[in-house]
Amino acid sequence: MDRTGDTAELTAFFTKVLGGEWHLYSSHILTGDSETGNQQAKLDLLAELMHLRPGARVLDIGSGWGGSLTYLATRYGVTGVGISLVPQQCAYATQRAQKYGVPLEFRPSHWQDFHADEPFDAVMTTGVVVHFPSLLDYFVRAKQWLRPGGILLNEEMHLLPAGVRNDPAARASRALAALDEVRKQGREAGGRLVVDEEGAYVTLDQETELLQQAGFEIEQVVPLSMQDYQKTVEGWVANCERSQAELTALAGRDVYRWYRLYFRLFRRLIDDRAMRLDVVTARLPHVRP
């Protein structure tokens, strides 16, 4: 019988697949540099869009293995908190922050259960809000975490409006249905680090309308390259196949095969005939005296 890896082994598995120093589970900006350089180029853009300065407090929702927040703390002198549904991710992220000597905290928590001890200057997500069944509820809750004038940043894929390209919603729906089936198989194989909570993709206009409904002012919409995202995921597949023996030893044959299939199918979802990739920043208005 094929074994399945424990959570610590799956963490080692996943960081090996994602590669680079920061293990970003989102699109990189391909600069012709190394995996680490491409990841840092992406994080530098997010830092610019959040107007980060030394001492700023950042909340990273869905912080994963802590690479994003640790890099931002190291490079820009920020402090902050990351939350993830997976306790092992938080433990790994805490060790990473300690290694770099930066003042960060990582908590296992759902965003619905998170309470801020003091307000944040920025709240960020990267490839996470698609997993939230109610974006409006999330945006309303984010207002409670931010100081007046604070920034909410979301990086996510958006459906193209109907009629812009050839039936984008149907095309994306087919890809998502295939991914849902693979997620089911992955849970049975022991792939416990994939988020089970599923929401749905929306159009960019729908997201910005919900932000405004929640009381935010849209600041910027910055489109990212879908081709870069495609190549990012292709890089994950290449890392997976290059290290097959090591990854199989870590997590077992079934889990290895499942993740490889999952990434290949996810690559199919990143189709610029149906989707676009954007970073949206919105500001919480200052309280008037």
Domain regions of the chain by residue span: 7-283
**Cβ count near 123 (within 10 Å):** 28
DSSP state of 285: P
The residues, any chain, with a CB within 8 Å of residue 214's CB and separated by 6 or more, are: 136, 139, 140, 142, 143
> Per-residue confidence at 53, pLDDT binned at 50, 70, 90?
very high
What is the SS3 assignment for 236? Answer: helix
pLDDT, tens digit (0-9, with 9 covering 90-100), for 34-47: 999 999 999 999 99
Q: For residue 174, is pLDDT > 60?
A: no
Listed residue (237, 233, 201, 208) closest to 222, CA to CA: 208
Alpha-carbon span 128 to 154, nearest angstrom: 8
- The two tokens of residue 61 are 């929702």
Please check whether residue 90 is in contact with residue 106, taking contact to mean a CB–CB distance below 8 angstroms: yes
pTM, full prediction? 0.89
The residues, any chain, with a CB within 8 Å of residue 29's CB and separated by 6 or more, are: 38, 41, 42, 45, 224, 225, 228
Pick the CATH number of 7-283 from 3.20.20.70, 3.30.70.600, 3.10.20.30, 3.40.50.150: 3.40.50.150
Q: For residue 249, is pLDDT > 80?
A: yes
Q: Please tell me the least confidently modeled range out of 66-70, 163-167, 251-255.
A: 163-167
What pairing do the DSSP bridges indicate for beta strands 275-283 and 79-84?
Answer: unpaired
Alpha-carbon span 19 to 58, nearest angstrom: 24
Alpha-carbon span 9 to 13, nearest angstrom: 6
Residue 176's pLDDT is 57
- The two tokens of residue 245 are 């023996």
Q: For residue 205, is pLDDT > 80?
A: yes
Mean pLDDT of 125-142: 94
Mean pLDDT of 129-144: 94
Alpha-carbon span 62 to 82, nearest angstrom: 7
